[in-house]
């Protein structure tokens, strides 16, 4: 007689009753009890994830050959519950499935892309947005999201720069933690929370040439100091899973890299979550010419530390399903290794509460749905805070609401879909507020809003130029809404040319000659090279893809209902030839000098970015002064308190991101010229001065020494505070033995 799920679960309950009665949440006992009853085939099934479900795959579920499903937005919650019922009630052990999804920046409510959210420098608000995304997706059957992406990226040619938090490991770590907390909350068994997955492990954002999926070759020091910290932050926050990357890292595919997946992640960090490969990343180790075939890929993946093979198939692929059993039977692979991975998967299912509540509680979500006005208000606030004011010559902005007419031009001005950006979940473009509609929402009916598209994104069609010139001539001010269509950034969207695509800039140049006041709003998924615009157009706004509330957010900034506060999480290059350009650079043996050719410089460009990391203007003006450290000499175990006075000397109330950078003036290992180590976002009334305090702890002064161990060396430390990574005031103290 074959025992089915419900009967087995009763046996398990009786066996573990003493632990349950004692109030202990003892997953490990239950995991071992399940493992002892599982066949090798059932164990391997837990390590296989499929995409979608058809009739044949339902039979594989009944045979316990599938452990999780990448479900996307194609299945309704009732269908997901039906599929789950097969796993829970029609299998021998009744082990529930996990339903995974890509919830990157919202599910139904679409928030700004992650790079834009990082421009807010407001992790608490981003945490709240992730919490809303978790609620919405959980209500439709998702248990697990493949987010956050925490890759550090210093090459905007790489299309996936849009999915992360930019170039800095500290800022990236802060947002990694915030997003994990938002998705997972304090209790993963909460029906409104889902498991998070930090990706792509590791150094995927350093792909050579900015070409997606490409090789990465970096030092262990760079790996540990730049690319690993956001993952460590996610692990410390309790992330349930990590996704291994596509790229080759220092000679080993990231999805078959024992050093990163086991030595660091398991042995050094003592993490017991799930590692899942990226989409077919295990099979692709064959194309790396690291694995001889997919059977070899199965061996390499499991022994390196990958628990789940994404896009497996119990019949013909991909890697684990057809080959792990053979490897064990041939004595090439220990079943103990499979057991360890199964433990990780079962542990995640227990943590998610799936053994207790495997089904989505449809009645609960119908009775407790989030209010639309609440979700929209968070989306709008985050969109506004994600906008970066790049230039505002002669205070052209904010525009006056009593103007008679405005010319609105550009392919993104009345665009519902592209402004959502890639990975827009189950978002409906019909819910998007376009810029045209947003401006109508803030202006009175007696203001003439003259709109034409003017041109397309990616062709040389100039047939709309004449209409653009006409409405510009007959309007008080011209606002261009230009940038990239959403498919121009994201996965598999690398570019060698970061100029504004198509003939958009040509149209701007023609209308600029009319002498009208011009504002350019740039909507994109990456920094673009906009040298001419920056030099010639008086007001420039970096808006990114802002999601559902794009139009309202941009309109409120344009007309002064919201004072922009965003700061760049990534530098804007002057040209692609300058890449990589980032603030975190090291000194050279021949520092730049204007009059000396034989220094570290370009013949045809400044070394500096067009706009630096941390940069962003406001309609207010902020003055920094009176920076002080409370101690001039400390031991390496002491804290230092640093204060600075920040004054609003402008005519508007505003928010300022006060940024703290530290420089180790001399060290046994060459160090960056400065490192972001803290920030505070504060609101200051016009005419007000606020004293801002930072406590500098020993770990903020430490770095990896010659032996790759953290060390605080004696010597002078310079403390720099300001509104971006360039315009800073400083003080110093000394660490003594």
The 10 Å CB-count burial string (b at 16+, else e) for 619-654 is bbbbebeebebeeeebeeeeebebebebbbebeebb
Tell me if residue 497 is catalytic: no
d(CA 420, CA 406) in angstroms, rounded, equals 25
**CA dist 28 to 8, 36, 235, 343, 345, Å?**
17, 12, 20, 8, 12
* Residue showing tokens 């060396």: 713
Three-class secondary structure of residue 207 per DSSP: coil
Q: Judge contact between 379 and 105, C-beta under 8 A.
A: no
Q: Judge contact between 265 and 275, C-beta under 8 A.
A: yes
d(CA 63, CA 87) in angstroms, rounded, equals 9
Report CA Rg, the chain: 27
Q: Judge contact between 579 and 156, C-beta under 8 A.
A: yes
* Residue showing tokens 């109330």: 653
| DSSP-derived secondary structure letter, 488 | G
d(CA 577, CA 677) in angstroms, rounded, equals 29
d(CA 584, CA 671) in angstroms, rounded, equals 9
Query: Smallest Cα–Cα separation from 396: which of 285, 516, 284, 508?
Result: 516
At 393, list the tokens: 């010559």
Instruction: Give the CA diameter of the chain.
Output: 88
At 718, list the tokens: 């310079």
Cα four-point dihedral sign 714, 718, 721, 722: negative
Cis peptide before 527 (omega within 30 of 0): no
Catalytic option among 151, 212, 278, 307: 278
At 293, list the tokens: 């075939």
Q: Judge contact between 498 and 573, C-beta under 8 A.
A: yes
d(CA 652, CA 604) in angstroms, rounded, equals 39
Q: How far is CA 161 from the centre of its chain?
A: 8
Q: Judge contact between 502 and 455, C-beta under 8 A.
A: yes
The catalytic residues are 278
């Amino acid at each position: 007689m074959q025992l089915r799920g419900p009967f087995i679960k009763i046996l398990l309950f009786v066996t573990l009753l003493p632990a349950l009665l004692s109030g202990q949440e003892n997953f490990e006992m239950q995991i071992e009890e399940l493992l002892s009853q599982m066949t090798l085939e059932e164990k391997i099934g837990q390590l296989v994830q499929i995409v979608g479900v058809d009739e044949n795959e339902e039979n594989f579920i009944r045979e316990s050959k599938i452990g999780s499903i990448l479900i996307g937005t194609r299945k309704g919650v009732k269908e997901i519950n039906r599929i789950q019922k097969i796993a829970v009630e029609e299998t021998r052990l009744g082990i529930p499935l996990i339903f995974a999804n890509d919830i990157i920046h919202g599910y139904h409510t679409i928030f700004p892309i992650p790079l834009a959210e990082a421009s807010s420098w407001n992790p608490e608000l981003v945490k709240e947005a992730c919490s809303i995304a978790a609620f919405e997706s959980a209500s439709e059957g998702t248990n697990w999201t493949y987010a956050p992406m925490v890759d550090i990226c210093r090459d905007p040619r790489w299309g996936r720069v849009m999915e992360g938090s930019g170039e800095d490991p500290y800022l990236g770590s802060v947002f990694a933690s915030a997003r994990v907390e938002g998705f997972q909350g304090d209790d993963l068994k909460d029906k409104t929370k889902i498991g998070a997955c930090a990706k792509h492990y590791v150094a995927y954002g350093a792909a050579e040439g900015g070409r997606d999926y490409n090789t990465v070759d970096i030092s262990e020091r760079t790996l540990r100091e730049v690319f690993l910290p956001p993952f460590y932050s996610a692990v410390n926050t309790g992330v349930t899973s990590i996704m291994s990357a596509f790229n080759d890292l220092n000679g080993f595919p990231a999805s078959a890299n024992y050093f990163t997946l086991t030595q660091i992640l398991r042995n050094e960090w003592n993490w017991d979550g799930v590692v899942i490969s990226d989409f077919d990343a295990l099979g692709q180790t064959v194309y790396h010419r690291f694995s001889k075939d997919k059977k070899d890929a199965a061996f390499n993946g499991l022994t390196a530390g990958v628990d789940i093979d994404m896009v497996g198939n119990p019949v013909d692929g991909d890697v684990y399903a057809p080959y792990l059993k053979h490897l064990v039977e041939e004595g090439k692979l220990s079943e103990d290794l499979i057991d360890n991975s199964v433990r990780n998967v079962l542990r995640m299912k227990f943590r998610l509460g799936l053994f207790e509540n495997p089904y989505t509680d449809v009645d609960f979500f119908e009775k407790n749905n989030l209010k639309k006005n609440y979700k929209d208000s968070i989306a709008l606030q985050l969109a506004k805070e994600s906008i970066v004011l790049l230039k505002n010559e002669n205070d052209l902005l904010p525009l006056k609401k009593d103007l008679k007419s405005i010319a609105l031009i550009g392919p993104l001005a009345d665009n519902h879909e592209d402004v959502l950006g890639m990975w827009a979940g189950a978002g409906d473009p019909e819910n998007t507020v376009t810029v045209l509609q947003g401006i109508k929402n803030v202006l009175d009916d007696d203001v003439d809003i003259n709109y034409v598209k003017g041109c397309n994104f990616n062709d040389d069609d100039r047939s709309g130029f004449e209409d653009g010139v006409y409405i510009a001539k007959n309007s008080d001010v011209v606002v261009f809404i230009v940038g990239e269509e959403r498919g121009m950034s994201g996965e598999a969207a690398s570019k060698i040319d970061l100029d504004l695509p198509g003939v958009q800039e040509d149209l701007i140049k023609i209308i600029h000659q009319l002498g009208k006041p011009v504002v350019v709003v740039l909507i994109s998924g990456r920094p673009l090279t906009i040298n001419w615009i920056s030099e010639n157009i008086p007001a420039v706004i970096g808006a990114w893809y802002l999601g559902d509330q794009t139009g309202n957010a941009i309109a409120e900034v344009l007309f002064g209902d919201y004072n922009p506060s965003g700061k760049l999480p990534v530098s804007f290059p002057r040209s692609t030839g300058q890449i990589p350009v980032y603030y975190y650079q090291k000194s050279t043996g021949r520092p730049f000098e204007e009059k000396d050719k034989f220094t570290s410089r370009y013949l045809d460009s400044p070394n500096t970015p067009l706009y630096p990391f941390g940069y962003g203007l406001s309609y207010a003006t902020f003055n920094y002064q009176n920076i002080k450290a409370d101690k001039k000499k400390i031991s390496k175990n002491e804290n230092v308190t640093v204060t600075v006075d920040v004054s609003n000397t402008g005519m508007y109330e505003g928010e300022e991101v006060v940024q703290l950078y530290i420089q180790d003036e001399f060290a046994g290992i060459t160090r960056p010229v400065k490192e972001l180590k803290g920030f505070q976002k504060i609101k200051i009334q016009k005419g007000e001065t606020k004293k801002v305090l930072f406590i500098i702890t020993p770990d903020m002064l430490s770095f990896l020494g010659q032996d790759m161990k953290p060390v605080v060396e004696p010597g002078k430390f310079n403390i720099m505070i300001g509104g971006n990574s360039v315009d800073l005031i400083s003080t110093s103290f000394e660490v003594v033995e």
